[in-house]
Amino acid sequence: MRQPLVAGNWKMNGSRASIAELLGGLKAGIGQVTTAEVAVCAPAIYLADTRAQLDGTPVAWGGQDVSVHASGAYTGEIAGPMLADFGCRFVIIGHSERRAYHGESDQTVAEKFTAAQAAGLVPILCVGETLEEREQGITEQVVARQLDAVIAHCGLDAVGEGVIAYEPVWAIGTGKTATPEQAQEVHAFIRGRLAAVADKVRVLYGGSMNPKNAAELLAQADIDGGLIGGASLKADDFLAVCSAANR
């Protein structure tokens, strides 16, 4: 059985003070979440604070992006070994905001997947269609292209060691969640595409998941957890989603 995973994506939010409060709340409540694996992906500059508070708790932490390079003259970038140096277990790769605002191509995303694994991190690979693509009826084509690029570059076995997050772009931060049926359909498609490693790869759903809709989404056969943006910024909401992932 795949262990559920709930990962928070704080994006570019928070301050030292607000993060200390959020982590304090998580630490206080995490004892009730017994079976789901839980992680938070912090802005890189707050990883030291995050580590200091979460070390020794069941909550893991991770980054939100990684350079394709391991070191060198790449001003402003964060390398995989640096994330590992701060105890990160996970790193988000190919989030739609990186693809849209930073021009990350499928090839770049594939290279980042490799860079993350080379540093011993577990990549959380984001895939998903825009509203326009869904309306054109090409959701599966888009998701297949995004996945296949990584499979071609890294190999299926490597992909099997990672985590996939299906995040329909139209559902991110909009309050519009995919219905459980819509999400399950794409999750089943993704699993089908993963062939020999399908049974072990966790496929998370992301896009306006919150305490109200989490249970229904997480009840779907191929939804193994969530990548949570807005609702991960409040300890109570995030913990409620984590509890909904318990099996």
What positions carry a catalytic annotation?
95, 167
Using the rule CB under 6 A, which residue among 66, 229, 239, 240 binds ligand PGA?
229
Contacts 24+ apart (CB under 8 A), 98-107: 98/65, 100/169, 106/145, 106/146, 106/149, 106/150, 107/149, 107/153
Using the rule CB under 6 A, which residue among 107, 173, 195, 247 binds ligand PGA?
173
Q: At closest approach, how far in Å is the CB of 176 from ligand PGA?
A: 9
Q: Which two tokens stand for residue 88?
A: 């990160």
Indicate the SS3 state at residue 239: helix
Q: In terms of CB distance, is 69 or 212 closer to ligand PGA?
A: 212
The piece of 57-65, 135-143, 166-174, 216-224 that touches ligand PGA (CB under 6 A) is 166-174
Residue 215: Cβ-neighbour burial (10 angstroms; 0-12, 13-18, 19+)? middle
Q: Is residue 242 involved in binding ligand PGA (CB under 6 A)?
A: no
Give the C-alpha separation, 141 to 9, whole Å.
Answer: 26
**Facing residues of 126 across strands?**
165
Q: Which two tokens stand for residue 237?
A: 């909401």
Give me the helix-helix angle, 16-29 and 235-244, nearest 10°: 40
Identify the H or E element spanning 25: helix 16-29
Q: What type of residue sits at position 84?
A: A
Q: Is residue 178 involved in binding ligand PGA (CB under 6 A)?
A: no
Q: In terms of CB distance, is 114 or 208 closer to ligand PGA?
A: 208
Q: Is residue 78 involved in binding ligand PGA (CB under 6 A)?
A: no
The piece of 13-21, 153-161, 189-197, 227-235 that touches ligand PGA (CB under 6 A) is 227-235
Q: Is residue 207 involved in binding ligand PGA (CB under 6 A)?
A: yes
Q: Is residue 33 involved in binding ligand PGA (CB under 6 A)?
A: no
Of residues 143 through 162, those in contact with ligand PGA by CB under 6 A are: none
Q: How far is CA 186 from the centre of its chain?
A: 16
- In this structure, what DSSP letter does residue 63 have? E
Q: In terms of CB distance, is 97 or 111 closer to ligand PGA?
A: 97
Q: In terms of CB distance, is 162 or 229 closer to ligand PGA?
A: 229
Query: Residues with Cβ < 8 Å from 44, sequence gap 6 or more?
Result: 63, 64, 78, 83
The piece of 25-33, 73-81, 183-191, 229-237 that touches ligand PGA (CB under 6 A) is 229-237
Contacts with ligand PGA, residue ranges (CB under 6 A): 9, 167, 172-173, 206-209, 227-231
